[in-house]
Structure 1
Amino acid sequence: MLKYDYGKRIKAMINREVGLEKREVSISKLSHKYHENLMDLEARFHDQNARYDKIKNRIKKETEECNEIQKTIDDWKKRISEMQNEAQRCVAEAIHNRQQLIQQLDEIHALKLATNTYINLHALPERIQGVFVQETEVHRGWHPFCFKPLSHTPEEVRQIIWGNSENAVAYSEAWERLVFRSVREMLLQSTKGS
């Protein structure tokens, strides 16, 4: 019986060893499969990480470009706003100047009628040309005049146009203020600009 017990024991030991080998083989297969999956996951992780870095860099680049475009848009908006403000200022200034010119022309017209002095506005500013109509009880006298504004003083201008007329003193200052001074200023500015 002893032999039988040894045989059983040896058989049990062999069976255990075979079972352990089977377990070792299955554990080895599982370990190999785990390591393969781990390597595959690591490769996928590196690929996804590289794609993430590319996307992140592209987003950063696109954001910088977007910021530059936004800055350019803001600069253009600012320039357009400045241009609009300048245009509005110019329009307001032009309206103001036109109103002043209309008022000045109205004053000149009233002054023409009051003094019987008519100036050819198309000849301005190169020369002051026109006619003074002197009315007396006996007759009407026409006194034409034409001269360069920068070549005469206001007193000389008064003498050239009105001579010894009574209206000359009363209205010559108004003529000087409305027409002659502005014509001289225009000529001086044009000669400085040349």
Structure 2
Amino acid sequence: MAIIIPESSYERRVKALYEKQIRMEALEGKFIKKVYKFNSNLLDVKEAVSRHQRKVGKLQKVVMERREELEKRVSFMEELAQELEATKLRNLAMKEQIKQRKMIARQRKNEIMERIHTLSKTTGTYVNQEALPARVKGVTVLRGDKRDQLIPFDLNATDAEGLNSLCQHLESLNVDVSQWQQLVSLAMDVAMEARAPTTPPKEVANCKSIIEIDLTSPTSHQA
């Protein structure tokens, strides 16, 4: 039969303290595990946040580049729109200038044709426009009491000597040579303008001050 020795109060306190320490150590171990797990999770979160921030940084850089590119495109489109508007205004101004010049040219041509018609009747001279500006070809009609005298002429436009001789001959027949020269000069001007932009021969350009014509006349084909 075992002998049971009752525990003293001191022994009970020591045992209670020992058991309490064991429990505290167990709780401390659990707490350390939880702290380690928390720290591990926290590190993972920090790494995830860091990776996210790097991605965000890259995205922000791309967004900034795209924004700058968009701003440049917008600026370019605005400049292009302004240039197009300016070009449109210039074109309208040019069209108006061309219109005015054409109108002035028509008025000038009409005035010249009227002068040619008047001089043609005054001098009785008809010029073959098909021959101009290379040749001065036509006929002068001298009105007489009984019959008219026809004086045909066909000279190279650069033949200054031949033209001078013709002028002297006409002058001897009481033809107003100054008016005759005006008629031929005006007609050659019209002929050269009608054939633009074809560049006239050098010799024709050089004799421009002598004569220039282009006249449609029913009798011009008689020459």
Task: Note whether the superposition's TM-score is higher than 0.5.
Answer: yes
Deviation string for 1:124-162 (max 9, x for gaps)? 1011111111112222111111112222267545235x3
Partners of 1:133 and 1:140 within 8 A in 2: yes
The yes-or-no answer on 1:126 pairing with 2:134 is yes
Displacement of 1:171 in angstroms is 2.2
One-letter identity of the residue aligned with 1:46: R
The yes-or-no answer on 1:42 pairing with 2:50 is yes
Aligned residue for 1:159?
168
Q: CA RMSD in A?
A: 3.6
Higher helix share: 1
Segment of structure 1 superposing worse, 82-91 or 135-144? 82-91
TM-score under structure 1 length normalisation: 0.74
Aligned residue for 1:148?
156
Displacement of 1:44 in angstroms is 2.1
The yes-or-no answer on 1:13 pairing with 2:21 is yes
CA distance in 2, matches of 1:151, 1:73: 59
Aligned sequence identity (%): 14
Q: How does 1:97-116 map to 2 (within 5 A)?
A: 97-116=105-124
Larger Rg: 2
- Structure 1 segments, 4+ long, off by >4 Å, are 58-88, 180-184
Summarize the Cα distance change of 1:133–1:122 in structure 2 as closer, same or farther, 3 Å threshold.
same
Aligned residue for 1:190?
201
CA distance in 1, matches of 2:93, 2:200: 27
Q: How does 1:58-97 map to 2 (within 5 A)?
A: 58-60=66-68, 85-86=93-94, 88-97=96-105
CA distance in 2, matches of 1:51, 1:137: 107
Partners of 1:158 and 1:168 within 8 A in 2: no
One-letter identity of the residue aligned with 1:159: Q
3-state SS in 2 of match to 1:166:
coil
Partners of 1:149 and 1:180 within 8 A in 2: no
CA distance in 2, matches of 1:95, 1:60: 52
CA distance in 1, matches of 2:103, 2:19: 121
